[in-house]
Structure 1
Amino acid sequence: KRSFVSLCIPLMLILCFTAVASAGPTIDGILKKKVLVIGTSASYPPLSYKTKNGTVLGLDIDLAKLMATSMGVKLKIEVIPFDELIPALEKGKIDMILSCMTITPDRNLRIAYVGPYFLSGQSLLTTKDIALNINGPADVNNPKFSIAVPRGTTTEMIAKKMLPQAKLVIVKSNDEALDLLKSKSVKAMMSDYPYVMVEAFRYKDKGFVANPPFSTEPIGIGVRQDDPLLVNWLGNFLNMLNNDGLLKLLTQRWVNDSSWIADLP
């Protein structure tokens, strides 16, 4: 299927990063176990999602595969609810977070971030008829407008800040928010723009459309605070992918090519 690692990886990329010796606690643990453990919610296509057969794929997963290859270790993907990812990282259950996670000041007080490696924003998924009357946040900021919002996300934070008068229905996940929209229990759902675009494409038959994003958000890799060398390693890793044009190519494969959507449940 789709594996970015199968593309040609410059030899310099591997040579530069396989020789990580006597590093910080996270890198030491990765090299000792010979396994890189990545945490993701697998609920934000095209960055990370589950296919019909349960395989986890996406831009984040391809990045993780490149990291593991560069370290000379195996990759293990742990699927964890989004609002439990940071606690899992803090407890050492995972080595880093790759899950379409926005870099925010509050989160950055708890964990370190590397990036951004992707830019997103908050958008509404709704029907064509409703979308025609939405020119901006002010048009939905009233008690009669119900919006499903995934809990523990920047979506929830921004919705509460930008739409304090709207009827916000806080749910566990994007999937639950989408189900409410499909059943017409809410007028819209709010989430990251790439996710909203994907669902608008998938459910064209229901008349769903994506509104232009209300915000711009940097997406980063989350790691624990106690390993500055890992932060340095990841920064150099992303810089090399940027300089070689590999990150741009990887992003284009997932954002511009919609063939993978057929694999969604």
Structure 2
Amino acid sequence: MRSFTSSIGLTFIAAAAAVLSGCAMAPAAAPVAGSHLDAVQKAAVLRICTPGDYKPFSFQKTDGAFEGIDVDLMTGFSASLGAKPEWVKTTWANLLPDLSAGKCDIAVGGVSVTTDRQKRAFFSAPYMVNGKTPIARCADVSKYQSVAAIDKPSVRVIFNPGGSNERFARTNFKQAKLTLHGENVTIFDEILANRADVFVTEAAEAITQQKLKPGLCAINPDKPLQYGEMAWMLPRDDVAFKSYVDQWLHLQQAGGDFQRTMDRWLK
């Protein structure tokens, strides 16, 4: 476990230097209007979209409360704005549409950075390197060491809808039998019950679930099948809000609070 947590990448965006060309000075930029940074402080509420089905990032318990890495971080982030967190339950398929429609100010819960999402939203600075990793029954680990080994007609690959896991499965597995499973939290039980063989998800989730589900094993989580980064998703074109989010993340990392949150959930 420690080898994985020590490889977590923490990448933060530095302020960019403006480049002036020609002899005349460029006109001053107009101030950003309608930033979520101002709106959240005025309302004293931060609306947070999350699917709430992805341990260890965000998970909704039976009592309706949420827990996980992003939940703890959002509590601190909200407080920095003088706001309280308000959780907006969504699905992976609706996460980006809900953010774009203004139903929330930020989207969290184990969100993978992708260029498709980047076309319609901003991302915070990535806070974790977390690549795609298979999880299977422990007795079958030796069978599924690569994409080619998994992509066979006899292998039953299961995946959840609407996110990067579905995209990875449909892109990489052309011969394996693919099964779309609507509930992320019960996918692991399908493998244990021998109704599926492999699920490819992020390394952090695979490691967490192998602890929670005896009989399942994450396969080479320190050598993922595909490089990936995790970040928070933000409304597009809101530069002021993104700048504040990135600065807050940077200070949390530099001060050690960020790593303590990670260690609490990943060790």
TM category (shorter chain) comes to: 0.7 to 0.9
More moved, 237-246 vs 174-183: 174-183
Task: Note closer, same or farther for the CA distance 1:180–1:242 as it changes in structure 2 (3 Å cut).
Answer: same
What one-letter code is carried by the residue in structure 1 that aligns with 2:193? S
Partner of 1:202 in structure 2?
Answer: 212
What one-letter code is carried by the residue in structure 1 that aligns with 2:114? T
Gaps in structure 1 of 5+ consecutive residues: 1-20, 257-265
CA distance in 2 between partners of 1:54 and 1:214 (Å): 34
CA distance in 2 between partners of 1:79 and 1:89 (Å): 12
Gaps in structure 2 of 5+ consecutive residues: 1-30
Deviations 1:188-211 (A, max 9, x none): 22222221222211221xx21111
| Alignment partner of 1:44 out of 51, 54, 57 | 54
Q: 1:245 deviation in Å? A: 1.8
TM-score (norm: length of structure 1):
0.83
* SS class of match (1:115): coil
CA distance in 1 between partners of 2:82 and 2:239 (Å): 20
Partner of 1:252 in structure 2?
Answer: 263
Number of positions where the alignment pairs a residue of Structure 1 with one of Structure 2: 234
What one-letter code is carried by the residue in structure 2 that aligns with 1:131? V
Residues 123 and 211, structure 1, Cα contact 8 Å, conserved in 2: yes
Deviations 1:71-122 (A, max 9, x none): 0111111121121111110111110011111111111001000120122121
Partner of 1:109 in structure 2?
Answer: 119
Task: Note closer, same or farther for the CA distance 1:244–1:23 as it changes in structure 2 (3 Å cut).
Answer: farther
Deviations 1:15-34 (A, max 9, x none): xxxxxx98643223212221
Partner of 1:62 in structure 2?
Answer: 72
What one-letter code is carried by the residue in structure 2 that aligns with 1:235? D
Q: 1:130 deviation in Å? A: 1.5
Residue 181, structure 1, aligned to residue 191, structure 2: yes
* SS class of match (2:174): coil
CA distance in 1 between partners of 2:237 and 2:36 (Å): 8
Residues 192 and 216, structure 2, Cα contact 8 Å, conserved in 1: no
Residues 32 and 240, structure 2, Cα contact 8 Å, conserved in 1: no
CA distance in 2 between partners of 1:73 and 1:50 (Å): 21
What one-letter code is carried by the residue in structure 1 that aligns with 2:69? L
Residues 143 and 165, structure 1, Cα contact 8 Å, conserved in 2: yes
Partner of 1:6 in structure 2?
Answer: none
RMSD: 1.8
Moved over 6 A (4+): none
Residue 72, structure 1, aligned to residue 86, structure 2: no
Residue 231, structure 1, aligned to residue 242, structure 2: yes
Partner of 1:89 in structure 2?
Answer: 99
Greater helix share, structure number: 1
* SS class of match (2:116): helix
What one-letter code is carried by the residue in structure 1 that aligns with 2:75? K
Residue 133, structure 1, aligned to residue 143, structure 2: yes
CA distance in 2 between partners of 1:203 and 1:23 (Å): 49
* SS class of match (1:82): coil
What one-letter code is carried by the residue in structure 2 that aligns with 1:254? W
Residue 211, structure 1, aligned to residue 222, structure 2: no
Deviations 1:175-196 (A, max 9, x none): 2422422332111222222212
CA distance in 1 between partners of 2:80 and 2:150 (Å): 47
CA distance in 1 between partners of 2:39 and 2:164 (Å): 30
What one-letter code is carried by the residue in structure 2 that aligns with 1:225? R
Larger radius of gyration: 2
CA distance in 2 between partners of 1:73 and 1:199 (Å): 33
Residues 41 and 79, structure 1, Cα contact 8 Å, conserved in 2: yes
Partner of 2:231 in structure 1?
Answer: 220
